[in-house]
Amino acid sequence: MFDKTYDAREIEPRIRNVWEDAGAFAAGAGASRDADAFCIVIPPPNVTGSLHMGHALNNTLQDVLVRYQRMRGKDVLWQPGTDHAGIATQMVVERQLAEAGEPSRREMGREAFLNRVWDWKAQSGGTIKAQLDRLGASCDWSRERFTMDDGLSDAVLTVFVRLHKQGLVYRDKRLVNWDPKLLTAISDLEVESKEVKGELVHFRYPLADATFDPADPSTFIVVATTRPETMLGDTAVAVHPEDPRYTDLIGKEVVLPLVGRRIPIVADAYSDPEKGSGAVKITPAHDFNDFEVGKRHKLPVINIFDEEAAVRLSSNDAFFDGIEREAVSNLVETLEGADRYAARKVVNALMDEGGFLEKVEANVHQVPYGDRSGVAIEPFLTDQWYVNAKRLSEPAIDAVREGRTRFVPDNWSKTYFDWMDNIQPWCVSRQLWWGHQIPAWYGPGDRIFVERNEEDARRAAEVHYGVTVTVAERAEALAAWERADDGSIVLYRDEDVLDTWFSSALWPFSTLGWPDRTPELRKYYPTSVLSTGFDIIFFWVARMMMMGLHFLNREPFETVYIHALVRDEKGAKMSKSKGNVVDPLDLMDAYGADALRFTLAALAVQGRDVKIAKARVQGYRNFATKLWNATRFADMNACRIDPRFAPSEAKTTLGRWILTEASQTAEKVADGIETYRFNDAAAALYRFTWNTFCDWYLELVKPILMGPDGDEKDEIRAVTALVIDDIVAMLHPFMPFITEELWAITAAQSNVPRETLLIHAAWPQERLIDEGTAAEINFVVDLIATVRSVRAETNVPASVEAPIVLIGSSATHEAFVVRHEAAIKRLARIGEITVDAVAPPNAAQAVVGEVVVCLPLAGIVDLDAERARLSKEVNRLEKELGKIDGRLSNPKFLDKADAATVDEQRQKREDVSGRLTKMRAALDRLEPIS
């Protein structure tokens, strides 16, 4: 029944089935009808992803919260689900196609490709759930959602359409971050700037009314650039209005080399006299700042690239506007189709040839890269859909400012405010296929119909156009517009999809059934806690705040707990390329899910990275084994659960003491969890279980358990069983498997059936608080520890059962010794205990409280070692006494420190000086060195 060894591999899958069969994770399971709600929505992992250490940490912490609150009687929902992860998933499938030598996405077409993605989802979508199960995450899987399932897609449509009708979603033509590899726009957040060693190229732009002479600076103006190839699209040169070097030139023109276009020199404060030459080329189509300058000066926008960032001039009307097509035919031919980096080389060479290249400097600068594709992103002028984030951000800022949503640790609210205060329009359209297709239909005359479905769009269009409307593919529709058929109109649907984070932003309410008014939505929204990493505060947290407040008028969560990043044991960020990824599944295989969970909780200190080391996990596996063995020991000693036992009426000091300690620990653990100080909670559990309960309580109690039957033994048995019950319960949120198992075993052994599984059992109540017992136990513990230490230091062999003589003991302490005599003898390996007035000669001596403990072992005690030990101790005490006296003789201290502190110091002085006197006397009693 009770296996001798703890085997996580055997226990964990079995217990998992027990929970599953019982439906233990279901929303509200085990709670009373009127219980308060507690809800966490899981940060949805990528549907085709697998569990990494960050997931393991975050989901462990969420599970600790969820299991704790369940035991507190709350009606708990931990809402799970997965995210379709647009770009990531689409890329994976495209890579698979490429590797298998199959037709590419574009070759197979949208429908066939999407079928392939759904296949892949069907195939790998269960992985992450299985892995979370493995970890013990008690999510209500019966409510699992997926961002692209029907319900959530419906929420997405509803939100998009409503925002559009409210004017908060709009279509705009402006520069976006364009990913020339993925061929889609991406948001600001998906751009990472990287430091790149490049070149700063200085070009001479000839003045239009001078004859260009490379040797004569008065005939040209120098501009510097890190992107020489974009000069083909230059439409101005900007100088600072107050830069004395250039004031004369403002309003004049230069002739753009190679191209021959006449472009103006404009005055604009954007130009920084300190940088480069002080004059800057303006390319509105290829630089965000230049775009703004262009708007201010009404400059033409000449885009020289195609969507893959290759030069495209031949059919480029804007480029040929104002120049002779013939004059640039060579240039166009040379550059057509060259990618941006190749074009850069060519342009530099041509400029050099013409004498327009002044110099090239090495230059380190920041270049924006797509976080997914890893290629430099290109500012690109396109039509995209935007969300007016500024408007939505206002209530979201207020919610945090007014404390309706609280960040833990609080300093993250600053990060949140900084970003929210400067929020930019959110580009939500993506030129991808995998995702929520934008519900917008286009008709002739620049009309857009944003509706929940095709039928509604068609109807809206019919109202608008007053004729029959049909819907077709884009190409077909455009052709129809071209033909301008009479009497009917053809619409086509926007081919783009929404940013994945658009649907994620709805997660806290879409998963609860919104836009329907479901009972779950009423009960669980706003949710209690969101637990996530700081890296997605902007991507996700901020956007959920915005959407939640906008559509439900309530903030989506009360608390946002921001956990640390998991790093390897040296503190490096884990990455596949570095090969330092620690796989949580490996650790679970080796040590069990319980050990991994406890490790992560113990390391989850606020505001500090989590460095995971194998040795640590092993240590907590040992902890599980320790608990297992302690429970087994109790079992072997017939410590049975006794429902009639009333702990508050316990008679034995040991019983009252351990019940007090257990009660205090439960309080500490609860406090740690509730304040998100998981490490404190874990430490309190570890210390109590191992150091207090196993090392001291069980050892002190052994003589009783092995002694004669009677009231004392009965009580200790009942207490032991009860405290183990409490330990198992307190530990359950951290180590759910082993505790659920022990909960069942102890019940079976006691023949007292449990009313519920541990997962639904109540958090340990306060059994008893009797601080008075501490004095007795502490004295005994102190005595044993002191004797052990003295023995070891004076080289008394372990096998010797040394007698001890107590000198100067108070009646109280003498009574303590009598009461725990058997335990003291056993634990300190002592033979006879006697009380005397005078110390025996040549004994090792130590002070415990007011008592001098002597080990009279002439010939066995190493007297030289003893002398050294005593001197050292005397020394230490003298130093400490000096410090205390320094304080107490300082009138300012007596004057300013509060009375309690002064008293404390006085008390301490008394203790220390008492000890010191005794130690000195002890030293004197030793024979002088012969």
Instruction: Give the footprint of RNA on residues 10-49 (CB under 7 A).
Output: none
Q: How far apart are CA 516 and CA 741, in angstroms?
A: 41
Enumerate the β-bridge partners of residue 266.
238
Q: Which of 642, 793, 862, 885 binds RNA (CB under 7 A)?
A: 793
The answer to whether residues 631 and 744 touch, using CB atoms and an 8 Å cutoff, is no
Q: Which of 252, 447, 611, 819 binds RNA (CB under 7 A)?
A: 611
Q: Which of 307, 679, 814, 878 binds RNA (CB under 7 A)?
A: 679
Q: Per-residue contact track with RNA, 573 to 602, x per CB under 7 A? A: x-----------------------------
97 or 381: CB nearest RNA: 381
37 or 279: CB nearest RNA: 279
Under the binding rule (CB under 7 A), the answer on residue 622 touching RNA is: yes
Under the binding rule (CB under 7 A), the answer on residue 274 touching RNA is: yes
Enumerate the β-bridge partners of residue 489.
469
Enumerate the β-bridge partners of residue 308.
none
Q: Name the segment binding RNA (CB under 7 A); options: 174-182, 468-476, 569-577, 842-850.
A: 569-577
What are the DSSP calls for 901-926, one per residue? HHHHHHHHHHHHHHHHHHHHHHHHHS
Q: Where are the beta strands (DSSP E) in 232-278?
A: 236-239, 253-255, 262-267
Q: Which of 646, 752, 792, 838 binds RNA (CB under 7 A)?
A: 792
Under the binding rule (CB under 7 A), the answer on residue 271 touching RNA is: yes
Q: Which of 159, 829, 847, 919 binds RNA (CB under 7 A)?
A: 829
Under the binding rule (CB under 7 A), the answer on residue 535 touching RNA is: yes
Under the binding rule (CB under 7 A), the answer on residue 456 touching RNA is: no
Subset of residues 105 to 144 that bind RNA, contact rule: CB under 7 A: none
Subset of residues 79 to 108 that bind RNA, contact rule: CB under 7 A: none
Subset of residues 629 to 658 that bind RNA, contact rule: CB under 7 A: 629-630, 632-633, 636
| Distances in whole angstroms, Cα of residue 571 to Cα of each of 61, 291, 497, 619, 683 | 21, 42, 38, 20, 22
Under the binding rule (CB under 7 A), the answer on residue 608 touching RNA is: yes
Least Cβ distance, residue 573 to RNA (angstroms): 6
Q: Name the segment binding RNA (CB under 7 A); options: 328-336, 350-358, 384-392, 611-619.
A: 611-619
Subset of residues 856 to 895 that bind RNA, contact rule: CB under 7 A: 876, 880, 887, 890, 892-893
Least Cβ distance, residue 189 to RNA (angstroms): 6
Subset of residues 718 to 777 that bind RNA, contact rule: CB under 7 A: none
Least Cβ distance, residue 861 to RNA (angstroms): 14
The answer to whether residues 598 and 592 touch, using CB atoms and an 8 Å cutoff, is no
Listed residue (25, 49, 46, 6) closest to 133, CA to CA: 25
Least Cβ distance, residue 452 to RNA (angstroms): 33
Enumerate the β-bridge partners of residue 805.
834, 854
Least Cβ distance, residue 511 to RNA (angstroms): 27
Binding footprint of RNA, residue count (CB under 7 A): 94
Q: Per-residue contact track with RNA, 799 to 818, x per CB under 7 A? A: x-------------------
Q: How far apart are CA 831 and CA 856, in angstroms?
A: 11
Q: Per-residue contact track with RNA, 226 to 265, x per CB under 7 A? A: xx----------x---------------------------
Q: Which residue has the tokens 């830069």?
A: 243
Subset of residues 158 to 217 that bind RNA, contact rule: CB under 7 A: 188-189, 192-193, 200
Q: Where are the beta strands (DSSP E) in 132-261?
A: 145-146, 169-179, 184-186, 191-206, 220-225, 236-239, 253-255
Q: Which of 694, 822, 860, 881 binds RNA (CB under 7 A)?
A: 694
Under the binding rule (CB under 7 A), the answer on residue 837 touching RNA is: no
Q: How far apart are CA 340 and CA 376, in angstroms?
A: 10
Q: In the chain, what is the straight-line distance between the N-terminal and C-terminal CA atoms, in Å?
A: 64
249 or 683: CB nearest RNA: 683
What are the DSSP calls for 415-476, one per residue? HHHHHHHT---EE-EES-SSS-B--EEEETTTEEEE-SSHHHHHHHHHHHHSSEEEEE-HHH
Q: Which residue has the tokens 């035919």?
A: 329
Cis peptide before 526 (omega within 30 of 0): yes
Element (H, E) at 75: strand 75-79
Under the binding rule (CB under 7 A), the answer on residue 334 touching RNA is: no
209 Cβ contact list (under 8 Å, min separation 6): 252, 253
Subset of residues 208 to 227 that bind RNA, contact rule: CB under 7 A: 223-227
Residue 331 region by backbone torsions, left for phi larger than 0, else alpha for psi between -120 and 50, else beta:
alpha
Least Cβ distance, residue 209 to RNA (angstroms): 23
Subset of residues 387 to 446 that bind RNA, contact rule: CB under 7 A: 411, 414-415, 418-419
615 or 929: CB nearest RNA: 615
Q: How far apart are CA 514 and CA 521, in angstroms?
A: 7
Under the binding rule (CB under 7 A), the answer on residue 683 touching RNA is: yes
| Distances in whole angstroms, Cα of residue 111 to Cα of each of 107, 117, 128, 272 | 11, 10, 26, 51
Q: Name the segment binding RNA (CB under 7 A); options: 12-20, 75-83, 85-93, 788-796.
A: 788-796
